[in-house]
Amino acid sequence: MRCPFRLSALLLSVAIAQSLILSKPLLAQAPPTEATKPAAAPKPVLATQASPLPDPNVLVGPLLLRDVGVGEVLDLVERWTGRILLRPASLPPGTYALTLDKPLPKAEALRALETLLNMNGVGLSPLGDRFLKVTPLNLIRTDAPDFIEGSTLGMQSSGRIVAKIFSLDFLRAAEFVPQISRLLNPALGAEPVIFEKNNSVLLTDSLSNLQRIEQLLLTIDRPASSGLAIKTYNLEFAKASDIANKLRTLLSGALAAQIGATTTYQPDDRTNQLLLISDPREQAFFDSLVSRLDVKADPSTRSEVIFLKHANAIDVEALLGKLISGQNTTARSTGGDTGRAGASSRRTPGATPAAPTPATPAAVATTTSPGAPSEEFSSLLTIVADERSNAIIVAGTPDDIRLVASLVNRIDVLLAQVRIEIVVAEVTLSNDITSGIDSLGLRVDNNKLTGFTASGAGASIGAQGAGTSSLTSFATSTGYGQNLTGAIGIGSSPRKDNTAILSVPSIVTSHNKKAEIFVGETRPVISGTTSGSSGSSTGLTTSSSVTQQKIGIRLTVLPLIGNDGSIQLEITQVVEDILGKVIIDGNEQPIVGERTTESFVSAKNGDIIVLGGLQRANQGKTTSSLGPIPFLGDLFGKRSYSKGRTELIFFLRPTVLTGTTLDNVEALKRIDSTSQAKEVRAIIDTRPAAASATPAPAAVSESSEKH
């Protein structure tokens, strides 16, 4: 039995002999006529031209290969090309089979053999005109395969390994290469080389594969705007930005997927045009939409007058204007069209009223369900304050009126009020006492009076005796209805002479509203002097400008009232004293000293706040006359000098008013302690007349509509 290898070798020898017998007579004959001559294959343009085949049109075949080795196939390539093959020591193993059932031109037969080798992992690369290098396919990229400069589409497809640079016009090479990686032959292991500066990529693969990639580039390497058209809509009635907002609302959600991804439209309010960039096939759809939206229609607007009960109209107008302006700014920062929220028209008190400025529209920031009321201000909103009637006039759509009325109802509320009782006491300090609080024997924790530390018969503060230390028990025992002077009254005789009550005022103010008291005097002070000619020969005349200067004790309080009854007080104390006199331009002027403190105290309802530390040193001189003669008596009389210190102590008790009769208990006690208590009581106890049957004006009393 014969070996299969010997049978294959025998068949190969017969095939080679047959091809030689058939080829020799064809080589000796004259060239075939044009009618019988097969069409020549287009020649590739190569950067390194190999020597031409002896005669690529010479016919070879028929050929029958069955399970032959790579050596026999390479022998045929070497014989038909006329070149010397440089073979490595080893090549990828494999068996080859090829059937050419009729004679073919030698060039086509060689393409078939080269493709057959590539399919089995063997590649051929030219070395000059006389040699061909045989290389495993995964290493051929390093052996300088044929480089194609022109197009590959006019060449005969084959598995021959070649290289080509593709220059991209519109695609980016770095983005294109990852997309085609799966199209390349993985057996080659030839990674694409990207040239970013000229946007090109070098590919090494089979000729047929590069032809496919080139055909692909002809289809996709085009401008991104290819197929798009620009259309301009000149709007007659509607505003361009309003139409754009309507389209965005209509084409949102599921409808957004029905239009092209590259479709865009932008308004130009300067020319009142809408610019559309889309596929021409979509323009008919937008033509229909725009024509239905750009119609003549008067907007449905209303005007309302909202009377305020507690808030100031000017302040409410300014607050609403800031809110609308902030909505407009937010819309612009998020990329919306300019103007969707309206801006109010502000009128300065005392100035000539200006025409209301229409609000600037803002882009729709939220998506609402169809039919739901809008939660944003429209472009028609205008707000004007009327200071005379303390009302605001609102003009806009029904949604605008509803939103503004809702805001006003939450803004126009009665603020919490507080009554602050104040006692200003001056304490004379002895040499061994450092502060007025110690002199009075008061116990103060966190600026709040909690009791006293005095001892001895008769020492008390209000109803409290010595040893009281609890803040809660002290405030409860003094009682919110007890007069503050009585709550801090001093009953021990050693303290009667060193303490003087300078003022006992009481003020009422609202949350975050500043209140001020002043106890003192007003003195004329020269603020300027003017010299000029009087028109006579006596010289210049001098005139002085005089202003009144307040000198005394000034206390300013700014309360912040919490919902739980807590009160935060910002307290400013200013004490001015006349320290002496000075002569300025022949005029006697007082020397005014000033002591100032600022405090921020947190307290509960009814707590007594104690503030001290404003001390002053006093010096005095007295002279007693000796005998009846005035001059001699003053000269030889007794003289004495005295030095002392005084300190001002401020007692404050804030009480949050509840709007009930309990708020008047302290005031009624003061009235009852006066000599006119009976007459005053008769007036305030008289009930007011019944209210008129005519109903009071509602919060919104006037309205007008325009359709």
Residue 283 has pLDDT above 60, yes or no: yes
Residues 519, 567: one domain? yes
Length reported for the chain: 707
pLDDT for the residue numbered 393:
93
Among 268, 293, 318, residue at a domain's last position = 293
Residue 267 has pLDDT above 90, yes or no: yes
Residue 666 lies in a domain: yes
Residues 196, 289: one domain? no
Q: What are phi and psi of 373, to 5 degrees?
A: -65, 145
Tokens, residue 309:
């009960």
Q: Residue 103 maps to which CATH number?
A: 3.55.50.30
Q: Residue 256 maps to which CATH number?
A: 3.30.1370.120
Instruction: Report the domain count for the chain.
Output: 4
Most confident by average pLDDT, 7-11, 138-142, 365-369, 576-580 = 576-580
Place of tokens 């939450």: 410
Instruction: Say if residue 665 is exposed, middle or buried (CB neighbours under 10 Å; 0-12, 13-18, 19+).
Output: middle
pLDDT for the residue numbered 232:
95
Residues 651, 613: one domain? yes
- What band does 570 get if pLDDT is binned at 50, 70 and 90? very high
Residue 119 lies in a domain: yes
Residues 82, 164: one domain? yes
Residue 474 lies in a domain: no
3-class DSSP assignment, residue 676: coil
Cβ-Cβ contacts under 8 Å for 491 (sequence gap 6 or more) = 458, 459, 460
Mean pLDDT of 485-496: 50
Q: What are phi and psi of 268, to 5 degrees?
A: -125, 95
pLDDT for the residue numbered 470:
44
Residue 630 has pLDDT above 80, yes or no: no
Percent pLDDT > 70 in the chain is 70
Residue 158 lies in a domain: yes
Residue 183 has pLDDT above 80, yes or no: yes
pLDDT for the residue numbered 383:
92
Average pLDDT over all residues of the chain: 74
Mean pLDDT of 500-525: 87
Summarised one tens digit per residue, pLDDT across range 45-97 is 333 334 444 566 788 878 888 888 888 888 888 888 888 888 888 888 888 88
Residues 632, 502: one domain? yes
Summarised one tens digit per residue, pLDDT across range 672-685 is 877 887 887 788 77
Residue 364 has pLDDT above 70, yes or no: no
Cβ-Cβ contacts under 8 Å for 702 (sequence gap 6 or more) = 303, 304, 305
Residue 365 lies in a domain: no
Residues 119, 145: one domain? yes
Residues 99, 246: one domain? no
Q: Are 50 and 56 in contact (CB under 8 A)?
A: no
Domain span at residue 242 reads: 229-293
pLDDT for the residue numbered 51:
43
Q: Give CA separation, 134 vs 185, 187, 590, 643, in Å.
A: 19, 16, 118, 122
Residue 370 has pLDDT above 70, yes or no: no
Residues 614, 650: one domain? yes
Please tell me the distance from the alpha carbon of residue 37 to that of residue 45, in angstroms, as a whole number.
23
pLDDT for the residue numbered 488:
65
Please tell me the distance from the alpha carbon of residue 340 to that of residue 145, in angstroms, as a whole number.
66
Residues 506, 638: one domain? yes
pLDDT for the residue numbered 293:
92
The better pLDDT of the pair 9, 69 is held by: 69
Going by the DSSP 8-state scheme, the letter that residue 490 receives in this structure is B
Long-range own/partner contacts, residues 33-40 (CB < 8 A, 24 or more apart): 38/105
Residues 307, 286: one domain? no
Summarised one tens digit per residue, pLDDT across range 145-176 is 778 888 998 888 877 788 899 999 888 888 88
Summarised one tens digit per residue, pLDDT across range 25-34 is 322 233 333 4
Residues 236, 315: one domain? no
Please tell me the distance from the alpha carbon of residue 310 to that of residue 290, in angstroms, as a whole number.
48
pLDDT for the residue numbered 538:
62
Residue 280 lies in a domain: yes
pTM, full prediction: 0.46
Among 164, 199, 220, residue at a domain's last position = 220
Residue 81 lies in a domain: yes
Residue 565 lies in a domain: yes
Tokens, residue 111:
């393409």
Residues 282, 203: one domain? no
Please tell me the distance from the alpha carbon of residue 132 to that of residue 79, in angstroms, as a whole number.
12
Mean pLDDT of 238-248: 90
Please tell me the distance from the alpha carbon of residue 116 to that of residue 25, in angstroms, as a whole number.
28
Most confident by average pLDDT, 115-119, 240-244, 539-543, 610-614 = 240-244
Q: Mean pLDDT check: name the lowest of 392-396, 416-420, 447-451.
A: 447-451
The better pLDDT of the pair 330, 50 is held by: 330
Mean pLDDT of 593-614: 87
Residue 39 has pLDDT above 70, yes or no: no
Please tell me the distance from the alpha carbon of residue 159 to that of residue 395, in angstroms, as a whole number.
80
413-437 burial by CB neighbour count: b if 16+ within 10 A, else e? eeebbbbbbbbbbbbbbeeebebbb
pLDDT for the residue numbered 637:
56
Residue 195 has pLDDT above 70, yes or no: yes
